Structure 1
Amino acid sequence: MAELSMEKDAVNTEDDHLNNSLGDPGLISPDKEDISRILTVPFKGRIRGGMRPGKKIIIMGIVDPEPDSFDINLTCSCSKEKDEEELRDVALKLSARFAERQFLRNARVSGKWSEEEASIAYFPFIQDQPFRIEIHCEHQRFRIFVDGHQLFDFYHKVKSLMTIDTIRIDGSLQITKLG
């Protein structure tokens, strides 16, 4: 499972290398007094060692009571200007849009967005309810599960998986656990 280190945008980043307080190597669960500061949205964290086949990221959270949308982005350090967030390649962008009841996915490589993929069997998110998203990295694709059900696959547009080293989460949700 992917190891994440947490850093809040424009905030002290002393907690870049959190240890797991529960002994579960897959989930990072900071102490209760730290959780509101570390897992606040917008969230930015490092994926230690980048992605590779067999690694997975788990995002647990609660949808806001009156949600609009939320985004989860896996970004790369493969861009020349890796300090400039808007210039980084986006290996996977997941966008939950509540008004349209869509869970969209996309990627940006060398400044160009791929064609957005939108078809899903059902919209899995409910306002004010918890959810669990799993992003499994395989050789040719990401496999996305929500609440234990496989929802779709997204084939890699970024070929160097190890450069996928950052996760960003923003929008109408609260994050409860990451791993």
Structure 2
Amino acid sequence: MRPGKKVVVVGVVDSRPDRFYVALSCGRGTSREPPPDVALEVCVRFRDRQVLRRACLSGSWGDVDRAVPFFPFIRDQPFKIEIHCEQSRFRMFVDGQQLFDFCHRVTSLSAIDTLWIKGSITITKLA
């Protein structure tokens, strides 16, 4: 990862969604343990219509950012997430509208090499 790059996730929300996660990490970790550095973890929770963001440095999770101007995900509907890497932050867009900025906590952007997705969605395209 480096400034100017972006990750695109296109998919469809499940018909009975609970939550889903999208994360950018430094390495894969294991099925039981996440990698020690997660540059950005986004958790979308449908029950309370939250989009939570946090980072993990050396195995320690930081504070959660919660504020978003709107909740863009609808059950059974397609979506397009774009995560843009800028010099000092990630900027996330959903269906072309900016949802949030997240300042970099992981300082070595080149170490970010893994995209991790889990939860109540079906992925149709990654770029």
TM range (shorter): over 0.9
- For residue 77 of structure 2, the aligned residue among 106, 119, 129 is 129
Task: Give RMSD over aligned pairs.
Answer: 1.2
Does the 8 A contact of 2:39 with 2:104 survive in 1?
Answer: yes
Q: Which runs of 5+ in 1 are unaligned?
A: 1-50
Q: Deviations over 1:80-138 (max 9, x none)?
A: xx755524311000110000100110000011111100001111000000000000000
Moved beyond 3 Å, runs of 4+: 82-85
Q: Which runs of structure 2 are paired with 1:14-29 in the superposition (5 Å)?
A: none
Q: Indicate how the Cα distance of structure 1 residues 83 and 132 shifts in structure 2: closer, same or farther if over 3 A, else same.
A: closer
Structure 1 counterpart of 2:37 = 89
Say which structure is richer in helix: 1
Residues 129/157 of structure 1: CA separation in 2 closer, same or farther (3 Å cut): same
1:66 aligned partner, one-letter code: R
Give, in whole Å, the separation in 2 of the partners of 1:174 and 1:89: 26
> Counterparts of 2:34 and 2:55 in 1: how far apart (Å)?
13
Q: CA separation in 1, counterparts of 2:47 and 2:5?
A: 32
Please identify, of 65-74 and 86-95, the stretch whose mean Cα deviation from structure 2 is larger: 86-95
TM-score (normalizing by structure 2): 0.95
Structure 2: which 5+ runs fail to align?
none
Structure holding more strand per residue: 2
Q: Give the paired residue count.
A: 125
Identical-residue share of aligned pairs (%):
55
